[in-house]
Structure 1
Amino acid sequence: MSIRRDTLSVLRSIRPDVLGALLVATIGVDLLDLAAPPNDDIGVSDVIAVIIRVVIVFSASYAVQRQLAGGAQPFRPTIAMARFAVLQLLLLAGYGLATKLGVIFQGTGEVPLATQWLFGFLALAFYALFTIRLLAWNAALAMGEPFSTLSEIWRRQAGHLGAIGGAYIALILPVTAIHLAMTLVSLRIVMTANLRLALALVDGLFQALELGLACALGVVAWRIATAIEAGPPPR
């Protein structure tokens, strides 16, 4: 079994409506984030806007994860979505910590853009590989499995972590590197409004690809852990 081949096969089975929702979420959020000029002043409205953006991306992530895993009605709010959201919030907190550590290790003062990208990418890559077993949890929770099953899914991945991690490195980390580079460029370099909008559009596409690949790899890892025969989900 080739985990990379199976991951791409699962991703290709995404439904047009689910793909559309994913693209609207990632491109829309990126247009809001990247098209606006950087602003150090954070108010209540900014916090509310961040919460709304997180909810939008989480909802799209759940729909993609559930549909790729073979679940019905991926847009319907259920207890499975609530469990999925709990795990995503924990992962988001860890993501924020990893990003902060990358900033700490790169040093203080005026840091070159390339240095900022390198330390940021290394921090995100380490965090992704450190939490690689949780990809299968994403698929399991999206399919409605209770939290009580997660320990068994964790244990059954033990002999496959190298292959799963290798697939992540080969398929997802290159997309992560490009996505991070475009995000940093938008924050550090002054550019025209049209150029910022174009960058936001392209970056949104890469973010959608990154998320879709992660969901597809999660499905493959979940199938391995639960001995479900590989194959595309029903449409």
Structure 2
Amino acid sequence: MATAPTSIGIRRATLATAVSLDKSGWLILLAVTVGTNLIDFAAVPAAGTPPGAAFLLAVLLRIALVFWLVYALLRRLTDTPGPLSVTIAFWRLALLQMILLIGVGLATRLGAIMTGPHPTLAAEWLGGLLAIALVGLLTIRLAAWHTALAVGEPFAALGPLWRGQRAITTPLALAFMVLVLPIAALHLALTLVGLRTPLSAPAHILLGIFDGLVQAWQLLLSLALGVVGWRFARNSASQAG
């Protein structure tokens, strides 16, 4: 890896990887993030009303599309052939994403318990942000696993990949705190406003578009950070060999 494994080096490599995404990749990314936002905001139940079938379907659609989007973007960022085609690599990656999604759900639930049954919007935002930070830091080395599985590496490669990132765990964590977490905080705030605040239809549309742009940048930075960790671990293994 050309960049030294320092926090600044990792951040620079992450930004360079993120901006390397081509125009068609950006179009796919924005279509999914903005589109799912608009669907979610359109299906959100009124205050005091339990979620209906439309909202639950919107959530399932978002999960499926984001799973595929992560797979497609990682393959584009690593110049893997056939970035949009679904192979066995997609299903391996989807399994990992599902496990992490459950972990995020549990952390979010813990945050909800800490903020009480009727939290203010600010308290709900803080609890959610703490959950994002906790899961992100605890699973920082798993970001490279996403890349490995997306490009077609088997589950057996994940152990060496985990150990290969040992030297850059702290720089990766600092890069996450500096690059990803502030964008995640903004995305969470915009999402809560869209879901919890009564807004006119035009306001919801504008908010959905803007939040989709924010979410797109957050997701791209997160994936780029994983690509950087994956490349470092692979280069370290090749040099050791």
Instruction: Report the secondary structure of 1:227's partner residue.
Output: helix
Answer yes or no: is the 8 Å Cα contact 2:72–2:84 preserved in 1: yes
- Give the alignment's TM-score, normalised by structure 2: 0.90
Which residue of 1 is the match for residue 150 of structure 2? 142
Which residue of 79, 96, 101 maps to 1:70? 79
Give unpaired runs (5+ residues) of structure 2: none
Which residue of 2 is the match for residue 14 of structure 1? 21
Equivalent residue runs for 1:74-153 within 5 Å: 74-109=83-118, 111-153=119-161
Counting matched residue pairs gives 228
Q: Deviations over 1:9-68 (max 9, x none)?
A: 111110211111111011000001123443433445543433222111111111111111
- How has the CA–CA distance of structure 1 residues 13 and 76 changed in structure 2, closer, same or farther, with 3 Å as cutoff? same
Is 2:33 the partner of 1:26? yes
Q: Deviations over 1:155-178 (max 9, x none)?
A: 111121000001111100010000
Which residue of 1 is the match for residue 220 of structure 2? 212
Whole-angstrom distance in 2 between the partners of 1:96 and 1:10: 29
Which residue of 2 is the match for residue 199 of structure 1? 207
Which residue of 40, 45, 63 maps to 1:38? 45
- How has the CA–CA distance of structure 1 residues 173 and 219 changed in structure 2, closer, same or farther, with 3 Å as cutoff? same
The AA in structure 1 aligned to 2:215 is Q
CA RMSD across the alignment: 1.6
Q: Deviation at 1:187?
A: 2.1
The AA in structure 1 aligned to 2:123 is T
Which residue of 1 is the match for residue 182 of structure 2? 174
Answer yes or no: is the 8 Å Cα contact 1:80–1:143 preserved in 2: yes
- How has the CA–CA distance of structure 1 residues 137 and 207 changed in structure 2, closer, same or farther, with 3 Å as cutoff? same
- How has the CA–CA distance of structure 1 residues 190 and 209 changed in structure 2, closer, same or farther, with 3 Å as cutoff? same
Whole-angstrom distance in 1 between the partners of 2:204 and 2:55: 20
Q: Deviations over 1:87-142 (max 9, x none)?
A: 11111111111111111111223x22212111211111111111111000001001
Give unpaired runs (5+ residues) of structure 1: 230-235
- Give the alignment's TM-score, normalised by structure 1: 0.92
